[in-house]
Structure 1
């Protein structure tokens, strides 16, 4: 979607928020919601499940409620949320980005329930980690239940067989990474006698600045703040630091040297794994769960030596040996409750009781692992997949992986939570998961947290459509050679002039007030 279309859409959403809020608070003319049905809108990463299929029937039976789920493909989800808010026909439960401008505007206007003081009496919803809850809040108020995820997931995946063939060691520093990428580009790691490989694989990143992209991770390694950080006694955006420029000059050198896929500015994120699997590129900077997905690629292709194809390391040190690790927010989206179809405190209590039951260990195992005895069996604290050759069971597993896991909010199934770790048979999987846990625990010691994560600048909400694209677009143009370093600095100044100065002032003020609320 073009930036202009995003701006028009967001403008329409914000214009209609007042009407939506009035409808939400008064009940409007909408008929009362069916008390036996819970309406939900959430993301989808594959074909939509059959509403009469095994998984949905199992979840409905467990909850004692009918579910009317609007499944929306991930790539279209942000736009769908905006359109749904503008339509005034909002499901009872909506998975949202708790800091998305349209949601923030609607929540602050009263279209969603303020849950700050309402969750303590629900055992499965009661906050157990205040940092995650605060991170997902809007200036200290919780309008949604965060879907808990590990606090640190950044890592580097590397073709292990290429390292072994070239006699290279795993990287510890950014310079090591550069040398490996150069070797993967110049020294024929696949042994076909052709110069047809490269090091680092980067896709077109759909998110804005500080959205856990490979760029953001690399910038953090160089010492840039994680979105916002303190410099000379005040908080400044990470892109307005020397470390940001240094990291991008480093990456540009790799790009200019042919060490990165040349179509990085337009390469489809959905195909990110393909060059790694196909032997075209050898390095991916992303979340650590991608290592398991890469193992899946090789194993599903019948490669008996799939465990020899994927190596993983954690965050890398800067050239001077200092280490700065990129943490995660601790959540992945959040669950908000609309006032339009959940009108009274009693209605809210009924919905929260359903979510509370869903948040139990049994509920989280169901939506994140599936149906025990059907597609998995418990093996200690892991879920071993079973009946994988049965097409009907394969549908159940796909429904879990691509859809119902989005209803999981008590951790994930790889690195912790109430559900079982989902582990295919094979020592390589056990090894990579244990390695991931060890790396996360180690890197948390050097994590660079964003002190401004819990606050939302009003100007950032109202001018987000104008501001959000400036830095990501300029960064790509600089890396592609379409913009000089001085022009990149000029775009940083333009961000300030277009409203960023006010954003920075508001962020500093709001953060200073967090401890006094």
Structure 2
């Protein structure tokens, strides 16, 4: 997109947001929301549920309301969100990254309800963790109900059968990781006699810098800050550190050696599991639950030895033995409420009461696990899956996993939430969940937290569309060989010159004002 076109788009967005805000703030003159219907926009990670399907009907019966859900594929969500924000048809509830500049602009202009002082009267909406609520805020103001997530879930999923075939042990250090990637690329781990495998699978990442991407995880292993870190008494962005450059030199060496899928800049993230499952790639750096997704793929094709296909390790040590682990934010998106489609305090109370009911143990189990007695039963305080080979039952499970889980905002008990943790019937799943919890507990000891997570600078909001993509775009070009390291450093300077200097000053000022 050209600079002039981008400026026109930003100007248009601001104009429309102003108009939207004026409409939202018209108060009593706005039409009342339908009290019997809840409209939602949420992410989708598979096939959209049938509105007349069994799980949606169960959720509607539980809430006593009709649901109108716009399910948007994850890879397209940010674009759809920007378009929706610029329209006059906002749903009542939207799942959104609270730090997204377009959302922050709209929220600060009054397009979304400020919930900072409104949630305490709803027992199931009060923040379960005040620090996470602060992290999910916009400089202390709460514009949405945060969706609880584990504090640490970064991990590496590995083809265990490839390790076994080549007589390799799971990696402990970045050097081990490199050696395994090289062996997976050069030593025919699938035994087909062809040079057709690679060590690491990376997709086109839909988020910007510091968005828990595989790149961010690897950079953290090398000692780079997680988003922002203290250097010489001042907070600086993690990409302006020697460790960031060292990590990307390391990864570029892997790319140049054919150890990374050649389409890493374009691979659809929705197809991330395919090369792993189909025997083309051997490792994935992502969240630990991906291990269960790939187990599903092997099990669903009737492989009785599916548990022998997948291994997992946590964060890796640096070459000198020091360990730095990438934690998560404690939340993933928030459920924000539009003032355009929920115009009055009475309407807001109605929506919050509905979400409060959804926030009960029964409601969270329903959207996160499915229907008790149909696709799961309670065994040892877990949601143990049943009837997994029945297509109709599997649809309920898939609808929960791929879609309705986006309305699960209070997590499961394994991570301090209220819903039952889900356990598939096979022993490999039970073993993987046990390992997952052990790795999370261990890696939390070396977690590198982002001290700037609760804040967003005014300049970042105003210039986000112009500067947010500078670093991730330059990183991809450097890794692809389209840009030298000096040019990458030049792009870091351009980030500063384009507004990053002001962003850095404002972040330092805002963090200094946070409650200690």
Normalised to the residue count of structure 2, the TM-score between the two structures is 0.96
Q: CA deviation at 1:318?
A: 0.5
> Could you list the runs of 5+ residues in structure 1 that have no partner in the other structure?
none
What is the CA-CA distance between 1:475 and the residue it aligns to? 0.7
Within 5 Å, give how 1:62-77 maps onto structure 2: 62-77=62-77
Q: 1:416 & 1:310 partners in 2: Cα distance?
A: 27
Please give the per-residue CA displacement for 1:389-424, whole angstroms capped at 9, x wherever unaligned: 333323322222222111110115985632222222
Alignment match, 1:474 = 474
Pairing 1:402–2:411 present: no
Q: Which stretch of structure 1 is more off in the superposition, 221-230 or 418-427? A: 418-427
Tell me the equivalent position of 2:163: 163
CA deviation after TM superposition for structure 1 residue 134, in Å: 0.9
Please name the residue that 1:384 is paired with: 384
Distance 2:404 2:125 in 1: 19
**Whole-Å Cα distance in 1 between the matches of residues 4 and 157 of structure 2?**
36
Note if contact 1:59-1:366 (Cα within 8 Å) is conserved in structure 2: yes
- 1:277–1:481: structure 2 CA closer, same or farther, 3 Å change rule? same
- Counterpart check, 1:187 vs 2:206: no
Note if contact 2:28-2:343 (Cα within 8 Å) is conserved in structure 1.
no
Shift of the 440–498 alpha-carbon distance from structure 1 to 2, 3 Å rule, reads same
SS in 2 for 1:499: helix
Larger mean CA deviation between 450-459 and 419-428 belongs to: 419-428
CA distance in 1, matches of 2:9, 2:115: 28
CA distance, structure 2, for counterparts of residue 439 and residue 9 of structure 1: 44
1:47 deviation in Å? Answer: 3.0
**Match for residue 226 of structure 2?**
226
Which residue matches 2:277?
277
Q: Secondary structure at the match of 2:429?
A: helix
What pairs up with 1:494-513 in 2 under 5 angstroms? 494-513=494-513
| Helix, strand or coil at the partner of 1:23 | helix
CA-CA distance at 1:6 after TM superposition:
6.8
CA contact (8 A) 1:184 1:197 kept: yes
Measured in 2, the distance between the counterparts of 1:383 and 1:84 equals 36
For 1:7 and 1:399, locate their aligned partners in 2 and report how far apart those are by CA, in whole Å.
40
The answer on 1:330 being equivalent to 2:330 is yes
Name whichever of 202-211 and 213-222 sits farther off: 202-211
Q: 5 Å matches for 1:234-383?
A: 234-383=234-383
- Is the deviation greater in 488-497 or in 262-271? 262-271
The alpha-carbon distance between structure 1 residues 284 and 7, as it changes in their structure 2 partners (threshold 3 A), is farther
Structure 1 position 138 matched with structure 2 position 132: no
Where in structure 2 are there 5+ consecutive unaligned residues? none
Matched position secondary structure for 2:86 = helix
Q: Which residue of 1 aligns with 2:31?
A: 31
Work out the CA distance in 1 between the residues paired with 2:38 and 2:406: 16
What's the offset of the Cα at 1:76? 2.2
Once residues 279 and 395 of structure 2 are traced to their aligned partners in structure 1, the CA distance between those partners, rounded to angstroms, is 30
Give 1:104-119 correspondences, 5 Å limit.
104-119=104-119
Q: CA deviation at 1:381?
A: 2.0
Post-superposition shift, 1:361? Answer: 0.5
Cα deviation for residue 18 of structure 1 reads 1.3
User: CA–CA distance in 2 between the matches of 1:515 and 1:419?
Assistant: 31
Aligned to 2:393: 393
Do 1:22 and 1:28's aligned partners in 2 also have CA atoms closer than 8 Å? Answer: no
Q: How many residue pairs get matched?
A: 516
C-alpha offsets along residues 403-455 of structure 1, whole Å, 9 cap, x if unaligned? 21111101159856322222221111001011001100111111111111110
Q: Secondary structure at the match of 2:121?
A: coil
Residue pair 1:43, 1:72 contacting (<8 A) in 2 also: yes
**How far did residue 27 of structure 1 move?**
3.7
Q: C-alpha displacement at 1:201, in angstroms?
A: 1.0
Q: 1:488 to 1:11 in 2, by over 3 A?
A: same
Q: What is the CA distance between 1:7 and its match in structure 2?
A: 6.3
Bigger Cα displacement from structure 2, 344-353 vs 4-13: 4-13
Match of 2:45 in 1: 45
With over 3 angstroms needed to count, the CA separation of the structure-2 counterparts of 1:4 and 1:42, relative to structure 1, is farther
Provide closer, same or farther for how the CA distance between residues 3 and 94 of structure 1 changes in structure 2, counting only shifts above 3 A: farther
- 1:96 paired residue number: 96
Mapped to 2, the partners of 1:407 and 1:300 lie a distance apart of 26
Q: Deviations over 1:245-266 (max 9, x none)?
A: 0000011111111111122122
C-alpha contact (below 8 Å) 2:459/2:499 kept by paired residues: yes
How far off is 1:69 after superposition? 1.9
Q: What corresponds to 1:430 in structure 2?
A: 430
* CA RMSD after TM alignment: 1.9
Name the CA distance, whole Å, in 1 between partners of 2:300 and 2:78: 32
Change in 2 beyond 3 A, CA 1:7/1:326: farther
How much has 1:83 moved relative to structure 2? 1.8
With normalisation by structure 1, the TM-score equals 0.96
1:85 aligns with 2:85: yes
Deviation at 1:11, TM superposition (A): 3.9
